Amino acid sequence: MSFLIKNGTIVTSVDEFKGDVLIKDGKILAIGEKLCNNADEVIDAKGMYVMPGGVDQHVHFSFEFNGEKVRGFETSNAAAVGGTTTVIEFVNQIEGKGLIDSIDDYRKENADGIAMVDYSFHGVITDPSTGVFDEIEKLPEAGYPTVKLFMAYKGMFFHADDDTIAKSMEKAKDFGVTIMVHAENADLIDLLQKNCIEKGNIEPYYHAVSRPPIVEVEATERAISIAKLMDAPLYVVHVSTKGAVDAIKRARAEGLPIYGETCTHYLTLNKENLAKPDFEGAKYVCSPALREQDDIDYLWTSIKNNWLNAISSDHCGFDWEKQKHMGKNDFRNIPNGAPGMENRLGVLWTTGVETGRISRKQLVDLFATTPAKINGIGHRKGHIGVGYDADIIIYNPNHKSKISAKNSLQGVDYNSYEGFEQIGRPEKVFLRGNLIVEEGKYIGEKGQGKFIPGKPYGLCYDGVKR
Ligand code: URP
Ligand code: ZN
Ligand code: ZN
């Protein structure tokens, strides 16, 4: 089966031109001007942008907070309608079990046969007692070449101390495994949270008060220091402050392989959302916390200048009514995290491309190309090139819509961008050549997504001597 996408404007991270894309058996066979037409089907993309399907390297389909669990892969069609064709999920090591077994078992039960977009995994080290550091060398062979460590969340089973971070990095660097950190100082947050509660400050807004920028900056600098000591690359997830960006920027200027991402919500939502009345603020409780305008502006400058390298959703499908209300009398019990995998492209196109803050090529780079490279899947995902998987979005820049939880596939009772006027939408989305979104609606099938094993030595190892 072959088909030709004709007359569109093809946008990659490095190029933008009018042309056609020929697809055969799920792969991109040819790209060019006026390709001759002997395809089985022709799709006219006149007036549309033809872009690679997004890679969202930071989604949570199994995250648990205070016993409350997010929605899983059964909601991954929401990623598809939002133009994301590959998601990368964080899987916790089960206590007493190896990391690979933990991910393998999770994958068989929760992703295979369920996912509606392609998927990969990051491991989360939670139990150093299993000899997990020695297991790191085997991760690439299993297709899981990335590991996240949570410096935040004191007292929770997934919290990692500096010893765990250093040992992980020491091992990881010899096998091309990329260590990622959630950089916030857990002890200081704990102290500040207790101070708030003692004063009777229990509302969602105090989530942000107890997680000021400095706790992120300190942990980012510390993680970079550990990486420097261990002579290892590092990737900092969900960067939200100027100080953390500057730490990453300084490190790279020194020639260190230190990279980072931010998320859609840190670019578009601010701290004042947490002050919304009637517990609405709980919808915006995520960690790090939402910031003020100066940080937001600096993040835009950072993605424009490549100081930060990717934009993820950090998607967490918690309900507001049932789950966020766990923290009605104490903000510390509000499950951390907000939904967003469906809205990453539309929100970034509207606030970034339409305003001229970033170019379409930069958006493609941050949304698809670089995330694929960071996670060792850049040889087949995140780019429109010959031989790549035919994961393609046909984006209609003239469509206008209002974001609402009512029309969302994320499976939760609220949307962080409720009422946001979105410009454009993915009109059609192809997953390995299969049409899974038509006129903005999901038309694919459960289980159509496939596991994509990552290769070691992702982008953070570029230029690192081996
Ligand atoms: O608040 C957040 N981000 N929840 C998800 C877990 C994490 O820290 O990434
Ligand atoms: Zn995190
Ligand atoms: Zn996260």
Tokens 């019990």 belong to residue: 333
Whether the pLDDT of residue 248 is over 90: the answer is yes
DSSP string, 76-114: THHHHHTTEEEEEEEEEPPTTS-HHHHHHHHHHHHTTTT
Which CATH fold topology does 53-380 show? TIM Barrel (3.20.20)
Q: Answer yes or no: is pLDDT of 36 > 80.
A: no
| Cα–Cα distance measured from residue 399 to residue 456, given in angstroms and rounded to the nearest whole number | 40
Count of alpha carbons within 13 angstroms of residue 328, beta-carbon side: 7
pLDDT at residue 38 tops 90:
no
The H or E element containing residue 188 is helix 186-198
Report which protein residue has its CA nearest ligand 1's atom 9: 314
pTM of the predicted model over 0.75: yes
2-51+382-399+423-442: CATH number:
2.30.40.10
What is the pairing mode between strands 118-124 and 41-44? Answer: unpaired
23 confidence band (pLDDT: 50, 70, 90): very high
Residues having CB closer than 6 A to ligand 1 are: 60, 63, 182, 286-287, 314, 316, 336-337
Distance (Å, rounded) from C-alpha 413 to C-alpha 317? 9
In degrees rounded to 5, what are phi and psi of residue 453? -65, 135
Q: How far is the CA of 58 from the centre of ligand 3 (A)?
A: 6
Helix, strand or coil, per DSSP, at residue 36: coil
pLDDT band for 32, please (50, 70, 90 cuts).
Answer: very high
Is residue 292 a contact partner of residue 270, using CB atoms and an 8 Å limit?
Answer: yes
> Domain-by-domain residue ranges, the chain?
2-51+382-399+423-442, 53-380
Select from 189, 262, 286, 324 the residue to mutate for testing ligand 1; criterion: most ligand atoms less than 8 Å from CB.
286
Residue of the CA atom closest to atom 2 of ligand 1: 337
- Which residue CA neighbors atom 6 of ligand 1 most closely? 337
| Residue 37 predicted with pLDDT over 80 | no
At 149-192, the pLDDT tens digits run 999 999 999 999 999 999 999 999 999 999 999 999 999 999 99
